[in-house]
Amino acid sequence: MSDDEVDHELLDLLRKSLGIGPKDPSAPPETNVLKDAEYVCNNSIDVALDMRHTKLAAHSILAQMQERGYSSKIWCEHALHPKAKDESTVNFIFTMDLLNFSFWSEKSEEERFAVTYQEKRWTGYWSLVAALQRALDEDVPITTPAFWINEEECTEDILRHVFRSDTEEEMPMFTERVECLREAGRVLEEEFDSSVTALIEEAKNSAAGLVNLLADRFPCFRDEARFERKKVRFLKRAQIFVADLWAAFEGLDYGSFNDIEKITMFADYRVPQMLHSLGCMAYSPPLDGRIRRLDLIEPGHSWEVQIRGCSIWGVELLRREILKLDPEAKVNAILIDFFLYDLAKEQEKSGEEAIPHHRTRSIWY
């Protein structure tokens, strides 16, 4: 080779090292959520992670998870989650995670949006699950994608009835939830023959592939932001759909994924709150004050992006520390997220919350 000739092999290696050029079509799918979270964490000035407390928390979390026999089976054990191992459960989970966002309320526990189902009052995330189960009991096909785009049958009045509240407060962001249903129904009809199982099959048992499919084809799942002039991905609801499938089907059938370890925690309200309570995550005084005053933080604000990115990376560090303590522990980011969420709700119920969760109105979480 002369000095004037281009070394194409060297050029390709350089492009790959810089992350530019065409993607290798044979490479396994990557969501880049964890990579983006690390970037956010490394460049955050208002949110910081504390490794000393992370190591302490890892000891505590591992001990509690072992004591409780905590596993993915916890998902199926809840009274409201579907129990069947078939397409009806797939459709239920897709509908549930399509609408799984923004349940917090500024009203009191007695006045906030609530749903009574099977003689029990449900609030927060569980109010959505209860409303879906109630609708199915009333023969409303609320988990059928073809129903969402039939505006003669699936009218706004019908949807208001499906998501009716026991109180005067209606379901938060009701209009946005209707828009998500309509949009997802259209995408499923046009690209997947109105079949959620066809969508799952196209991912070929790849958790990352399914997350990317949702983000690429469904704008309402495209949970991204800008931070320090860089696009970062969180993909909370896309990832939790995969995680819920994995848990509901116990890693089999529609929940069988060969790369489930690529799913991160689901950056929302409660896990950051719990990470802060455990001392794993700290806020700058201005951000801390904003959260404690219950002041709104706009979607996409640097503070919100830092909270979400550092939460993902914080749970990843917890996972690594737990595996250092017990290399045989059957734990991943999904189970740590589930556990921390449950712990946060337990503390809320007992009045032990150390700090409120941050307030952001968003369809992303």
Give catalytic residues, as residue numbers. Answer: 268
C-alpha 83/C-alpha 289 separation (Å) is 43
Residue bearing tokens 């989970």: 93
Q: What is the 3-state secondary structure (H, E, C) of the chain?
A: CCCCCCCHHHHHHHHHHHCCCCCCCCCCCCCCHHHHHHHHHHCCCCEEECHHHHHHHHHHHHHHHHHHCCCCHHHHHCCCCCCCCCHHHHHHHHHHHHCCCCCCCCCCCCCCCCEEECCEEECCHHHHHHHHHHHHHCCCCCCCHHHHCCCCCCCHHHHHHHCCCCCCCCCCCHHHHHHHHHHHHHHHHHHHCCCHHHHHHHCCCCHHHHHHHHHHHCHHHCCEEEECCEEEECCHHHHHHHHHHHHHCCCCHHHCCCCHHHCCCCCCCHHHHHHHHCCCEEECHHHHHHHHCCCECCCCCHHHHHHHHHHHHHHHHHHHHHHHHCCCCCCCHHHHHHHHHHHHHHHHHHCCCCCCCCECCCCCC
Return the biggest CA–CA distance within the chain. Answer: 82
The Cβ of residue 298 has, within 10 Å, a number of other Cβ atoms equal to 10
C-alpha 80/C-alpha 250 separation (Å) is 17
C-alpha 219/C-alpha 12 separation (Å) is 32
* Cβ atoms 170, 176 nearer than 8 A: no
